[in-house]
Structure 1
């Protein structure tokens, strides 16, 4: 059980492009591709992208087709196109607000079987505010959009028995190039990109029913899908080399390193074996002995990962942990020059970031050599 420390060095502090109070915005986050990083943020009326490596560059603003609570969004590597994965469609919007393309699908509100043509049809429906959701992301080269949607597609006609579908879409014109039955009933999902544009990971949340992990491969004509982890592991990160991925158990008790080729577990690390109880916890609080990982665990680089422990705010400062991924061994607790909040998100290029407690800034970190 490790108690050693690894010092973090502040690389940069980036101000959130939207004011969370004024613009009713979520906290910012970072998208990374092999040759570009974007700071992005979603408000009720617009989404914004900023070149993380050139903060002085103009901010790109995309008018939002619906308020933020009605789905998720992503931005192309070139920063010139935003894709909004909503309740009834996946829509690509340029900075002028023009719709480049749209793929309509079944409604994510569980009791609704309508193939909506517009957001306005359910804008005032309370049940749709709490609809389930899918997700979408661009491939590493920006040519494809991978989208997890509620079936059926509008072009296929209504089917009350349709399950969720996984789509490969041409990012240029919105043509659905490939589709597969995801065999999930999602409450939410998150794509985890692979360096190879023809591969993609998908982590699906089904509430207490499980956490299916899907791996997709696109050969140019067909989308093939494999299910890994027996619906009990949450995909969190793919290595910079593309050879491995990381997962956390649905009950948060262990982290695992897997081979991409077949999903097999290479090494595993239990929280109870790696992390001591929080030093500021009351000695009589026996719940503090039940240490759990958080939902974030990612590759800082090909040899090192970073994670955090869950539900510790009541005891004191949040704790982040470095891991040697070769054998999933603990490498030390991260020591910061000032208190940080929340979970760390690794970028795979030797850095990771944290978001300020107020959500108005992103702190970019690297190991202090």
Structure 2
């Protein structure tokens, strides 16, 4: 691999206590913005990434945390300033002032040692909350977990569909520019489903996209999206009306390296930022800039005086890194 090296320019940094990259809701795209979610001492802390690249977060909010434990549950900011939290056996929606608006109880996800865990996100209209819940525990075969749509005003179930996954850990993501794009990842042991969720005329549909065992990764402002092989052996790009693009790590990366981290993403419509390394959780990851259409490496990033595990591309030419409780915002120098 022969590509240019450049130094990243630090734009801003901010302390965000309790933040870690591993929880499924740590990094969210919803309501036309990027969000960071942390959990600390019984609180869920939500920070909205500032549109001004000279700052990291525009604000932080704190909420009670009805989660079943660290790394479980899912918190999602709402368009009206509230927060929805998916727990082990209930979904709780808070108003902007912190009061509980409603709680929706459902069959509990399996206990400790099982990866089953729900997620939630508001739909494009802002009237419905999409959520994944465990299906009914009845004798006989288990058809699958459920994706349900709840009325955001009062918590009434409007519609539902059975998912192809069972007892899985879920993550919702939305597009920054197209509110109708709702993506759902389902991690279930050896199988990973990636689904596009649509609601039309009170009918909820979950349709697979791309290959299995490719979680959704970055979403571009022009509608393209990335999917990453769970083992880091390949990275794929999908866009409506365009040919799918896939590159194998062994063909485009130095020998012994693969795509690592969990969130390769679009720096802008022309560039992708991805972590590569020998091991998934290594602190020695290298960050590469890839061509946004061919996914071929074109540059490598050097950081002055710091390192980080998994970069978070924001789509505006900047990206975030995390080191301890410190979140830093960078751009290409």
TM-score (norm 1): 0.77
The aligned counterpart of 1:291 is: 258
Write 1 or 2 for the structure with the bigger share of strand.
2
Trace 1:67-78 onto structure 2 (pairs within 5 A): 67-69=68-70, 70-78=72-80
CA, structure 1 residues 134+30, in 2 after alignment: closer, same or farther (shift >3 Å)? Answer: closer
CA–CA separation in structure 1 for the residues paired with 2:112 and 2:28? 28
Q: Find out whether 1:41 has 2:23 as its counterpart.
A: no
Match of residue 276 from structure 1: 254
**Is the helix fraction higher in 1 or 2?**
1
Matched-pair contact (CA < 8 Å) for 2:321–2:329: yes
Distance 1:252 1:313 in 2: 8
Does the 8 Å CA contact 2:217/2:263 hold for their aligned counterparts?
A: yes
Map of 2:120 onto structure 1: 136
User: In 2, are the aligned partners of 1:26 and 1:42 still within 8 Å (CA)?
Assistant: no
The alpha-carbon distance between structure 1 residues 45 and 351, as it changes in their structure 2 partners (threshold 3 A), is same
**SS at structure 2 position matched to 1:272:** helix
Partner of 2:203: 222
1:335 aligns with 2:315: no
Cα displacement (A) at 1:66: 3.6
* Matched-pair contact (CA < 8 Å) for 2:258–2:276: yes
Q: Residue 91 of structure 1 aligns with which residue? A: 92
Give the 3 Å change call, closer, same or farther, for CA 6–137 of structure 1 in structure 2. farther
Aligned residue number for residue 256 of structure 1: 236
Q: Displacement of 1:145 after TM fit?
A: 2.6
Report Cα offsets for 1:28-78 as digits up to 9, x if no partner: 945445754444322241112344437797642211224543412122245
Question: 1:273 is paired with a residue of what secondary structure?
Answer: helix
* Structure ID, larger Rg: 1
Stretches of structure 1 lacking an aligned partner (at least 5 in a row): 110-126, 153-157, 278-288
Q: CA RMSD in A?
A: 3.1
Query: Equivalent residue for 1:305?
Result: 272
Q: Could you tell me which residue of structure 1 aligns to residue 187 of structure 2? A: 205
Provide the TM-score with structure 2 as the length reference.
Answer: 0.84
- Show the 5 A alignment for 1:43-82: 43-53=40-50, 59-69=60-70, 70-78=72-80, 80-82=81-83
